[in-house]
Structure 1
Amino acid sequence: MRQFLSLLVVLLLFLPLESTVAQAALSTSQTKNEATINTKSLAKGIISVGFKTKSGKKAKVGITKNGKTYYYNLPNNGTLTQFPLQMKNGEYTVTVFEHTKGNYYKSATSKKVTLKLKDSKTVFLQSVQNVKWTRSMSPIKTATKLVKGKTRTEDKVRSIQNYVARNVKYDYEKYRNVKSGYLPNINTTYKSKKGICYDYAALFGSMLRSQGIPAKLVTGYSTNAKGLHAWNEVYIKELKKWVIIDTTVDAATKNSGKSIYKKASDYKKQYEY
């Protein structure tokens, strides 16, 4: 039975998800287009970036600390988009890039910001580009109902995990046709009741964050999945530690009566948001 379930998970899960870290050639030459790096929410561990180009070209933002950079696609119409500063306290360099040709981008603006959070978990409570939520969203209202009357973090997490695993089915068609640069929309996943692993992780993470439970969306590799995978790490207050929860696997196996916490040895993290 165990071997069957392992095989089932491998068959169900996800084609390689393109990492939000772009493999692009980025130069430091400046452009004169309108780029904004807003630090008003720095105390929450996030920044807002906007970029409006006259050319309508594609844009990216790079967030660097201690030699590691996260690259994200950025709307080119000036809309402010929130991004996490998830690499703990210290100095970050935020750079906005505009596409030139081929795989090349040039810098529009750059700014250094210093993060000084009292609690590093704060950033994993916020709404950001790929874990995007508001209080008015239906899945967030459902999360509030699911945790009503519960005081322990573990009980709240289990209630939301059970809801996602039982109500969202794996979307094979999206698996075959998902495009590069895809971002999850939790309203769409909630209403359609289907998605790929990125959708599962974004929905679960958003519902937890809305209830004051720190949750990371993590991408990398797992022995339970074929190709690049997405899952969550959740901070359990009673345990005083982060645990791995994979609602995509739980949905495929119906959790089989096992603990919802997964073995760290089965997962290899690349990026966290």
Structure 2
Amino acid sequence: MRKIFVCLCFIVLLIPAYSISAPSEKATANAVAQPVDTSLIASGVIGVKYSSQVGKRVKVAIEKSGNVYYYDLPNDGTINYLPLQMKNGSYNVSVYEQIKGTSYLPVHQTAVQLSLEDLNQVYLQSVQNVHWNKSMKPIKKAAELTSKLKRNEDKVKAIHSYIVKNVKYDSQKLKTVQPGYIPSIEATFEENKGICYDYSSLFAAMLRSQGIPAKVAMGYTPGVKGYHAWNEVYIKELNKWVVIDTTVDASSKKASPIYKKNSLYSKEKEY
């Protein structure tokens, strides 16, 4: 029997209960001339930045064919890279600035076109909630763990084993984490603890750094109380995506198959 534990992830943004006002001339005039950077769109990501009034929050909505992903954005003009993970086609990107409380004003809207030959390319990139670069300790550790391995499946298993053995579930963090929380793979690696969002972000980043496509998936699964995060990983040798749940494996006292049954996982979002 699978161990039941609580894993209530506060995701980038679920569909919010915010009111949106019509844009004003003042807001349009104050908007960043071009807050959307498409220089990396050939890799399946875009950059978004916006400087707002002091204390005003900023949000981004990325929409395609009626499906929308929402993100919190720094209000100081710092660029964040976000995935275009809803396959090829036209995306609408909207930036919203807080007016007061839960009221937001649209300050920029633009359309971008995604046309990738390999859709898995999106899941190799560094983005807001799977942020990594080669200078980070966990990324260097991934290179160390896989240095003598040739097969991608063996690399996946080596990194999975390291995380499961070394990272502990942080029940105290679960009690205090706030909405809008974004994982830091460096903090998770250094502290050797985290919640499900931390596990899945760390695993995805370490795999992506080795050229292995990996998603952070979010939704529900039996045995885990609350909203949960896990990974889907593309195994080249198997020519398919598999479900891997490092949080469950790290919390289990008994060894369980690394690849989980897809039917046990109800996915709502993927990054």
Query: TM class, shorter-chain normalised?
Result: over 0.9
The answer to whether the Cα contact below 8 Å between 1:131 and 1:202 also exists between their aligned partners in 2 is yes
How far apart in 2 are the matches of 1:136 and 1:239? 30
The one-letter code of the counterpart of 1:132 is H
Q: CA deviation at 1:29?
A: 1.4
Q: CA deviation at 1:53?
A: 1.4
Q: Give the secondary structure class of the aligned counterpart of 2:140.
A: helix
1:167 aligned partner: 166
2:20 aligned partner: 26
1:249 aligned partner: 248
Q: CA deviation at 1:56?
A: 3.4
Q: CA deviation at 1:224?
A: 2.5
The alignment yields a C-alpha RMSD, in angstroms, of 1.3
Q: CA deviation at 1:19?
A: 5.4
2:7 is aligned, of 5, 11, 14, to 14
1:204 aligned partner: 203
The one-letter code of the counterpart of 1:95 is S
1:188 and 2:181 matched: no
How far apart in 1 are the matches of 2:264 and 2:239? 21
How far apart in 2 are the matches of 1:168 and 1:204? 11
Q: Give the TM-score normalised by structure 2.
A: 0.94
Q: Give the secondary structure class of the aligned counterpart of 2:129.
A: coil
Distance 1:79 1:171, change over 3 A: same
The answer to whether the Cα contact below 8 Å between 2:48 and 2:81 also exists between their aligned partners in 1 is yes
2:270 aligned partner: 272
Q: How does 1:51-62 map to 2 (within 5 A)?
A: 51-62=50-61
Q: CA deviation at 1:18?
A: 4.2
The answer to whether the Cα contact below 8 Å between 1:92 and 1:115 also exists between their aligned partners in 2 is yes
The answer to whether the Cα contact below 8 Å between 1:98 and 1:105 also exists between their aligned partners in 2 is yes
How far apart in 2 are the matches of 1:22 and 1:58? 16
The answer to whether the Cα contact below 8 Å between 1:221 and 1:228 also exists between their aligned partners in 2 is yes
Q: Give the secondary structure class of the aligned counterpart of 2:248.
A: helix
Q: CA deviation at 1:261?
A: 0.3
CA displacement 1:161-207 (0-9 Å, x = unmatched): 00001100000110111111111000000000000000000000000
1:260 and 2:253 matched: no
Q: How does 1:114-263 map to 2 (within 5 A)?
A: 114-254=113-253, 256-263=254-261
Paired residues, number: 265
The answer to whether the Cα contact below 8 Å between 1:224 and 1:266 also exists between their aligned partners in 2 is no
Q: CA deviation at 1:151?
A: 1.0
The answer to whether the Cα contact below 8 Å between 2:38 and 2:47 also exists between their aligned partners in 1 is yes
CA displacement 1:191-238 (0-9 Å, x = unmatched): 000000000000000000000000000110111310000000000001
Equivalent pairs: percent with the same residue? 49
